[in-house]
Amino acid sequence: MNDMTPIVTAPKDWETDQEVRWCPGCGDYAILKAVQRTMPEIGGTPANTVFVSGIGCSSRFPYYMETYGFHTIHGRAPAFATGIKLANPELDVWLVTGDGDGLSIGGNHTMHVLRRNLDTQILLFNNEIYGLTKGQYSPTSREGTRSPSTPFGSVDHPARPCAFALGSGGRFVARAYDVSKQLPDVLKAAHAHKGAAFIEIFQNCIVYNADVFAEFTDKKNATSHQLWLADGEPMLFEKGAKGIALDREALQLKVVDVVDGDWQGAGVIVHDVRNRAVAHMLVEMPFGPFPMALGVLYDDPHPTFESAVVAQNRELSEGKTPDLQALVSKGQTWMVEKEPREN
């Protein structure tokens, strides 16, 4: 067990014999394919890989991966993943959740798995709706979303998953969408990151919230509304005609025009994945006036939770023999030689 010798696999080695039961056309199919394509490329071993999920459409994911899989209860996948990883840190643990599972009922656990920095990949499928329960608005639904539970439009402010992840102390925050061709690269970067790696994957629910991301995912909108970030590269979009710069007076980001490719002259920022301050601005960047920031927004590893636990356990066990008899005999003891008197 835990034989770490890399084995060569193909995407089909990661497919199960289970019939996939998402709605035809669901964005989850594309994400599943992307993950199955990524696993051979990162040298994954099915026997050492565990997919853990909560409840919801996204959480059916483990059934379709030929790995170990645990479909748990609503919102609690991070807690199960924590127990699994602490029990066996050698396992490659992936967590699949959704906007309702991970940010509503399980928001607390998402916060703490990020804060503790458990070495796991957290794939949050954000479709801004409750699908499996037939279309209620979710914590990421935009204000005014009409749904069976909000027939006159929702009135509460949506959560922003990447801002939540960064605010919780996350050390890796990334974004992609279901059919984006860059998704495998983002998954690879997340896997390469040692620690909790959070990826918000915009996912199109074609039944209850179709095309809600079309403003930036539609082919015709892609170049004007997608900003793909790459470490060490300038933050350019619209085929290099526009970029993101810092408004030094207001201390906030702004969109600037780039003339003749002179992005330096336009003050466009070079993306540094370790810059937490800029990451905070990127996750807060409002869509509309700004493009959607995609790719790896932030990646700055820190020591992981399970390694710290293992190190402390080892340090405190060193030189000590686990003698059960000695343990139960501890403390102030006394010997009764014989019955002190007959009754």
Residues in touch with another protein (CB under 8 A): 1-3, 16, 18, 46-50, 52, 55, 62-63, 65-73, 76, 78-84, 86-88, 90-91, 108-109, 111-112, 309, 312-313, 316-317, 320-322, 324-325, 327-343
Query: Looking at beta carbons only, is 16 or 149 nearer to another protein?
Result: 16
How far apart are the C-alpha atoms of 35 and 26, rounded to whole Å? 15
Q: Is 224 exposed, middle or buried, given 0-12, 13-18 or 19+ CB atoms closer than 10 A?
A: middle
The CB-of-181 to another protein minimum distance in angstroms stands at 29
Strand-pair partners of 198: 122, 173
The CB-of-148 to another protein minimum distance in angstroms stands at 24
Query: Looking at beta carbons only, is 30 or 84 nearer to another protein?
Result: 84
Here the tokens at position 256 are 């600037």
Query: Looking at beta carbons only, is 68 or 290 nearer to another protein?
Result: 68
Count other Cβ atoms within 10 Å, centred on residue 33. 16
Q: What angle do CA 80, 182, 191 make, to 5 degrees?
A: 35
The CB-of-130 to another protein minimum distance in angstroms stands at 18
The CB-of-307 to another protein minimum distance in angstroms stands at 13
Report yes or no: 299 and 231 within 8 Å, Cβ to Cβ: yes
Strand ranges inside 281-332, DSSP E: 292-299
Strand-pair partners of 270: 234
The CB-of-319 to another protein minimum distance in angstroms stands at 9
Query: Looking at beta carbons only, is 132 or 281 nearer to another protein?
Result: 132
Query: Looking at beta carbons only, is 88 or 275 nearer to another protein?
Result: 88
